[in-house]
Amino acid sequence: MKHLLLIPAALTLLSACKDETISGYADSTATWALIELNGMAFPATATITFPKKGQIEGDGPCNSYSATQTAPYPWFEAGPIVATERACADLGAEADFFTALGQVNIAEVSGGTLILSNKDGHELVFMTAPR
């Protein structure tokens, strides 16, 4: 009888190890390139990666950045975005990217496509190269 009581405890521990954030659903080795922001081709280069549970990293047009992400998939919430402070000609595009990244709350991963969006119509479309 005591062994039966251990089964729920073991299942609880195993589920605690499962990454329920987007990091558990998106390829952790992939670099996702932003191709579209709010229905328009993105005019610069920006990326996002999910290297480990609850972590976002990437490069904006001018600066590298990181943030936390703890919402369970398909929800998405970028914690405070911390970025380097380099200037470049694409600072406006970078500001648009960081603003949109902070506003989206739904994630969808399908093959080599990642879509981050919200109910207000904001949408970031990323692609990754096939492996």
Using H for helix, E for strand and C for coil, what is the string for the chain?
Answer: CHHHHHHHHHHHHHHHHCCCCHHHCCCCCCCEEEEEECCEECCCCCEEECCCCCEEEEECCCCEEEEEECCCCCECCECCCEECCCCCCCHHHHHHHHHHHHHCCEEEEECCEEEEECCCCCEEEEECCCC
Give residue 92's pLDDT.
Answer: 97
pLDDT digits (tens, 9 = 90+) for 106-118: 999 988 999 999 9
Range in 2-11, 17-26, 52-61, 90-99 the model is least confident about: 2-11
Domains assigned to the chain: 19-127 (2.40.128.270)
pTM, to two decimals: 0.82
Give residue 8's pLDDT.
Answer: 47
Give residue 60's pLDDT.
Answer: 97
Give residue 32's pLDDT.
Answer: 96
